[in-house]
Amino acid sequence: MIEFRLNGNPQALDVDPTRPLLEVLRDDLGLRSVREGCGIGMCGACTVLIDDRAISSCLTLAGQVQGRQILTVEGLAGEGRLHPVQQAFLDHAAFQCAFCTPGFILATLALLKEEPTPDEATIKTHLAGNLCRCGSYRNILEGVRAAAEGQVLVEGGAQ
């Protein structure tokens, strides 16, 4: 039995501890924001936060999350409002196909917890492990900057 908190809720799963966390989150718990891109930890599509650190869930074994806190994009929005990082990505069209977006949002959240006012070089370095096949990097960078500066637009006005 593996016990952990997922998006703030306790979980107890009887799963093989050697299964990739990615499979457990998608197949057993139905979390579709956690996506498999490369399967070798190089693209960032499967990024989740484990104890506030951005981690590739394709490289993490289910047994490694015993007693830990896991956050996916599904756990961000609340009370009918997007999380400020999600809103910043939306405001700046920081996506095209959106396959990579959950991973970028979670990596951004981890970055801002570690460094609330990152410069451009820090942002680029921190997000280097996330790939966007559509090439939306300029807009992603603008979204991250806006989130860091608190310039999130909500219902037509600055928040």
pLDDT at 44 over 50: yes
- Cα dihedral sign, 142-52-130-84: negative
8 A C-beta contact, residue 5 and residue 68: yes
Taking the mean position of all CA atoms in its chain, how far away is CA 136?
17
pLDDT for 150: 86
Q: Tell whether domain 84-158 is in CATH 1.10.150.120.
A: yes
pLDDT at 155 over 80: no
Give CA–CA dist 15/47, Å, rounded: 20
| Domains of the chain by residue range | 2-75, 84-158
Domain at 2-75, CATH homologous superfamily: Beta-grasp domain (3.10.20.30)
Q: Express each pLDDT in 87-136 by its tens digit.
A: 999 999 999 999 999 999 999 999 999 999 999 999 999 999 999 999 99
Count of C-beta atoms within a 10 Å radius of residue 108: 26
Query: Do 2-75 and 84-158 share a fold?
Result: no
Model confidence, pTM: 0.92
Q: Residue 80 — very low, low, confident or very high, per pLDDT cuts 50/70/90? A: confident
